[in-house]
Chains A and B, each alone.
Chain A
Amino acid sequence: MNNPDETGAGKDRDWSVVLDDGVAKTNEPVSSATASTGAPTRRHEPHEPPRTQMPEKLYEKRKAVHNKRIDGPFRRFKWFVMFVTLAIYYLTPWIRWDRGPFAPDQAVLVDLANRRFYMFGIEIWPHEFYFVAGLLIMAGIGLFLVTSAVGRAWCGYACPQTVWTDLFQHIDRFVDGDRNARARLDKAPWGPKKIARRSFKWSIYLLISLATGGAWILYFADAPTLFTDFFTGQAAPVAYATVGILTLTTFTLGGFMREQVCIYMCPWPRIQTAMLDEKSLIVTYKDWRGEPRGSLKKAKKDPEHYGDCIDCNQCVAVCPTGIDIREGPQIGCITCALCIDACDRVMKDIGRPRGLIDYATLEACREEAQGHPAQPAWKALLRPRTFVYFGVWGGIGVALLFALGTRSHTDLTVSPDRNPPYMLLSDGSVRNSYTLKLRNMESRPREMEVSVEGLPGARMWTDTINAREAAPSITFNVPADQIRTVRAYVMAPSNTTSREFTFRLTSLDEQRETDTVETRFDAPAGGS
């Protein structure tokens, strides 16, 4: 029993304030009138939160968020992003793309059964999966880039969780009315009217969820065919299972869990928190300007003592995750900037300059607090870190494009028979057998010529061509978009010794693509 809290100085310590470098840091709003210079922005620096603020339980019951309707430039931008992203998701599988008679005509198709990935003019084979890996790396570094430049913009605008939550919140508003009406209905006892309203709303949820789950599977098969099959009960069981699971997750994650996903489940906010620095744009409340807050009436009476914040709580009311931005940057803030719209509107109404809540970097905040003129937000983008990320991101992109442009649509692999390694023929010549794989990545059948180089006097034939027709090169017809496997026999005169030689594959069309493979010819006479 030696708890330091029980004895000594710790007993009297006020845990709600953490002293660090002589500056009190608390999670309470700090008034610039009472704290020392620099304190308002320094409170954003990381510090251990006071112990008394720790949740008593790991599970906190969710408080429903009823966000108020707001209009403004950021809300309009959010509408725009929402329409674009949803349109991309729901409509992409229906876009057609003509690839000729030997390939599917769906523009974006992940054909798992045939192991092909189609994206408009690009077709990826399994062995080219590094293109997909490269895209994923680009997506990762793209998030670094976005985060270091504009903070959690992904969370605020483009993340599916955000988009669908936004959609469902609009449904809430459409069915149940705005913030106050929804809060009232929440509190109201269950009766026929509430049951009717809720079941109507939840059926809309379910329809959207079904469309979301249903659209997913269309990326993996021909959309029109699968669509009819799905509703006539002829689709594969896995299609129904996938739609079922995705409908369920959309329904629960978008309809009910919403901001909890961001706060408790998603790792990305935590990673982003680590990637943000004092030069990243975040949605921030300029407390040095707003504090101490007070109602408009009080502020009019005593303008000297009050800041610009009139404590109207509009920023809290419109927040889709139900946080108070005035408490500083926090894990629940997805930086959707709706509070900026709300605050700017209020500031306009009461005749004070906009931007009490605004996109700003912590560094800019500090400078502004010290009386320097405000920097335009876009200047925060111009700094080495964003340029480095952009350079890496762009470099990978250019490399991928280069690889895509120069890749060959022809490929040859050779595996020599090891049992037996060589074979004597009755005229004394030596024969080796090889399994050749001729890959045709064009969506049309092609003639390809396989020839033997570096083996004097060699002639070849196959298991379907007679030995009497053996020749130094053979032409094969390789079907569209397929690999043709050929068992080839190569015969060399009796005095041939073991050596390396080369198979050369040439496509007999205007492209004349070639591929060479060096392999070994074994013979009873030694040497190499």
Chain B
Amino acid sequence: MANKRIDEATNTETVGHEWDGIEELNTPLPRWWLWTFYLTIIFAIVYVVLYPAWPMIEKATDGVLGWSSRGELAEEMRLADQAQVGFREQLARVPIERLPDDSELMARAVAGGRAAFQVNCSQCHGSGGAGDQKLGYPNLNDDAWLWGGDLKAIEYTIVHGVRWAEDDQTRQSVMPPFEGAFDEAQLGAVVDHVLSLSGKAQPNAAGAQIFADNCAACHGPQGKGGREFGAPNLSDAIWLRGGDRADLRRQILGPRMGVMPAWGERLDPVTIKMLAAYVHSLGGGEDFVEVADNPEVEVDEQP
């Protein structure tokens, strides 16, 4: 093996291997390469001293600098939170009625609300806020509101929830079950009448009579619903739990009513304000009818 010799042409030592007459020269490494290599070794030693390097059972050894990627993340999050402080304070001072006046603040509130919505609301209402007809989660994109669709009404619903027993100011409404109250013909007639309100069936006198006796108290004589009771509008194209005959029958005989938790105790008022702004911005938001021009609602400039 060790058959090293000096190659004549290049005056360089060979490594002593030979394959079919081909030999390899033992050329020394270029100096710049060697120095770079030494520098990397020095760099590695310095790095091991300064930064976490040796993996232990729990975590790696602490470097002299005390740096860690978790620590860096925590610091960045802290800075991000700090940057939000001014905005949150400003939002806390503005009454929700005045929020649309400040379009920049509104835009930031909508953006913040979008994030909060994904965390807290999308489980039921869906990530696009489209709800679910089968499960009865209301669609927040449309212009039908059970409890009102202006910013203040939305905020109230979020704070107090719907049919949430632990909150005594919660949105409350109950539709009684009509199981056994109607015979088959009466049920068919009232379903027809309800469908006729939105032009999907022929009106009939019997159904109208039953509706006036049993339903109009909450849903109104024209079936327009009533927000004070949270009674759905039956004359529009939107159905919370489906709009065909079978759906209507089921809902009349044994109404299912959704529950939404009161978020007032779980979320801070600023987040709720942002959520209200976001839901309002989804396309169906309504203007304030009477408060918009009320001079008594003024922006509180003091924190």
> Whole-angstrom distance from the CB of A58 to the nearest CB of chain B?
5
Interface with B: A95-103, A391-399, A423-431, which one?
Answer: A423-431
Residues of A within 8 Å of B103, CB to CB, are: 464
A4 and B21 in contact, given A56-B11, A419-B127, A423-B139 (Cβ under 8 angstroms): yes
- Interface residue from A58, A427, A463, A489 paired with B30 (Cβ < 8 Å): A58
Interchain CB contact under 8 A, A466 and B106: no
Q: Tell whether B31 is near chain A: CB-to-CB under 8 Å.
A: yes
A51 with B283: CB separation less than 8 A = no
* C-alpha spacing A284/B21, complex, angstroms: 42
B302 contacts the other chain (CB 8 A): no
Q: Is B284 touching A467 in the complex (CB atoms < 8 A)?
A: yes
> Given A2-B21, A420-B130 in contact, is the A426-B30 Cβ separation under 8 Å?
no
Q: Give chain A interface residues in 1-27, CB to chain B under 8 Å.
A: 1-6, 15
Q: Which residue of A lies closest to B12 (CB)?
A: A56
For residue A266, give the distance in angstroms from its CB to the closest CB of chain B.
15
Known interface pairs A2-B21, A57-B28, A419-B126; A15-B9 also in contact (CB < 8 Å): yes
Given known contacts A3-B21, A58-B27, A425-B143, A433 and B283 CB-to-CB distance under 8 angstroms? yes
Q: In the docked arrangement, what's the CA distance between A487 and B7, Å?
A: 77
Which B residues between 282 and 300 are near A, CB-CB below 8 angstroms? 282-285, 287
- B236 adjacent to chain A (CB < 8 Å): yes
Task: Give the distance to chain B from A16, nearest Cβ to Cβ, in Å.
Answer: 12
Q: What A residues does B198 contact at CB under 8 A?
A: 428
Within 8 Å of chain B (Cβ to Cβ): is A231?
A: no
Complex Cα spacing A468 to B11, Å: 93
What B residues does A6 contact at CB under 8 A? 8
Query: Is the Cβ of A423 less than 8 Å from the Cβ of B283?
Result: yes
Check B110 for interface membership: any CB of A closer than 8 A: yes
B128: chain A residues at CB < 8 Å are 417, 419-420
Q: A423-B130, A426-B233, A494-B237 are in contact. Are A463 and B110 (CB under 8 A)?
A: yes
User: With A and B bound together, what is the CA distance between A57 and B11 in angstroms?
Assistant: 10
User: Any chain A CB within 8 A of the CB of B244?
Assistant: no
Q: A419-B126, A420-B141, A463-B281 are in contact. Are A427 and B21 (CB under 8 A)?
A: no
Per-position binary interface string of chain B over residues 134-147, scored 1 when its CB falls under 8 Å from any chain A CB and 0 otherwise:
00000101111000
Cβ of A382 within 8 Å of any chain B Cβ, yes or no, is no
A528 contact set on B, CB distance < 8 A: none
The count of residues in chain B whose C-beta lies closer than 8 Å to any C-beta of chain A is 40
CB of A466 within 8 A of CB of B139, answer no
Residues from chain A with Cβ under 8 Å of B11 in the complex: 56
Q: Tell me if B18 is interfacial: C-beta within 8 Å of chain A.
A: yes
Q: Decide yes or no whether B10 CB sits under 8 A from chain A.
A: yes
Interface size on A, residues (CB 8 A): 33
Let me know if B23 is at the binding interface, CB within 8 A.
Answer: yes
| Chain B residues, Cβ within 8 Å of A56 | 10-12
A188 interface contact, C-beta 8 A: no
CB contact list, A45-59 vs B, under 8 A: 51-52, 54, 56-59
User: Is B82 in contact with chain A by the CB < 8 A criterion?
Assistant: no
Q: Across the interface, name the chain B residue whose C-beta is closest to A57.
A: B28
Interface string of A488-499 (1 = CB under 8 A from B): 010000100000
A425 pairs with B110, CB closer than 8 A: no
Q: Is the CB of B10 within 8 A of A489?
A: no
Q: Are B141 and A467 in contact (CB under 8 A)?
A: no
> In the complex, what's the smallest C-beta–C-beta distance from B132 to chain A, in angstroms?
11
User: Which listed residue, B9, B30, B237, B281, touches A428 by the CB 8 Å rule?
Assistant: B237
Q: Is B15 an interface residue (CB 8 A)?
A: no
**Are B142 and A424 in contact, CB atoms less than 8 angstroms apart?**
yes
Is the beta-carbon distance between B23 and A3 smaller than 8 angstroms?
Answer: yes
**Contact B23 A426, beta carbon cutoff 8 Å:** no
Q: Give Cα A27 to B155, complex, Å.
A: 91
Determine if B238 is an interface residue (Cβ-Cβ < 8 Å): yes
Report the bound CA distance from A5 to B8 in whole Å: 8
Q: A15 CA to B139 CA in the complex, in Å?
A: 90
Interface residues of A in 404-418 (CB under 8 A from B): 417
Q: Does B36 contact A (CB under 8 A)?
A: no
CB of B3 within 8 A of chain A? yes
Which residue of chain A has its CB nearest to the CB of B107? Answer: A464
With A419-B128, A420-B141, A467-B283 in contact, do A425 and B18 touch (Cβ < 8 Å)? Answer: no
Choice from B32, B107, B237 contacting A427 with Cβ under 8 Å: B237
CB closest chain-B residue, reference A423 = B141
Query: Could you mark each residue 232-268 of chain B with 1 if its beta carbon is under 8 Å from any beta carbon of chain A, else 0?
Result: 0100111000000000000000000000000000000
Q: Which residues of A contact B126 (CB under 8 A)?
A: 419-420
Cα of A106 to Cα of B285 in the assembled complex, Å: 46
| B18→A427 contact, CB < 8 A | no
Interface set, chain B 85-108, CB cutoff 8 A to A? 103, 106-107
Contacts of B233 in A (CB 8 A): 426
Q: Tell me the minimal C-beta distance from B203 to chain A in angstroms.
A: 18
**B201 CB to nearest A CB, Å:** 15
State the CA gap A528–B130 with chains docked (Å).
23
Q: With A3-B21, A419-B126, A420-B130 as known contacts, state yes or no: A425 contacts B237, CB within 8 Å.
A: yes
Residues of A within 8 A of B236 (CB): 426-428
Q: Is the CB of B31 within 8 A of A59?
A: yes
Chain B 5-55 residues near chain A, CB threshold 8 A: 7-12, 18, 20-21, 23, 27-28, 30-32
Measured CB to CB, the closest approach of chain B to A286, in angstroms, equals 33
The interface residues of chain B lying within 8 Å CB-to-CB of A420 are 126, 128, 130, 139, 141
* CB closest residue in chain A, given B28: A57
Question: Which A-chain residue is minimally distant from B131 (CB atoms)?
Answer: A420
CA A58 – CA B11 in complex, angstroms? 13
Q: Which of A54, A427, A463 has the most CB of B within 10 A?
A: A463
Least CB distance from A253 to B in Å reads: 14
* Cβ–Cβ < 8 Å partners of B282 in chain A: 463
Bound complex: CA A417 to CA B31 (Å) = 61
Known contacts A59-B31, A417-B128, A423-B139; A52 and B144 CB within 8 A of each other: no
Chain B, residue nearest A50 (CB): B9
Q: Whole-angstrom distance between the alpha carbons of A467 and B27 in the complex?
A: 80
Contact B10 A54 (CB under 8 A): yes
**20 A-B residue pairings within 8 Å (CB atoms):** A1-B3, A2-B20, A2-B21, A5-B8, A51-B10, A54-B10, A59-B32, A419-B127, A423-B130, A426-B142, A426-B233, A427-B237, A428-B237, A431-B142, A431-B283, A463-B283, A467-B143, A467-B284, A489-B283, A494-B237
Residues of B within 8 A of A (CB): 3, 7-12, 18, 20-21, 23, 27-28, 30-32, 103, 106-107, 110, 126-128, 130, 139, 141-144, 198, 233, 236-238, 281-285, 287
Q: Enumerate the 3 nearest inter-chain pairs by beta-carbon distance, A residue then B residue, closest first.
A: A419-B128, A426-B236, A420-B130
Given contacts A56-B11, A425-B238, 14 further A-B contacts (CB under 8 A): A1-B18, A3-B23, A6-B8, A52-B9, A54-B9, A417-B128, A423-B142, A424-B237, A425-B144, A428-B198, A428-B237, A431-B283, A489-B283, A494-B237
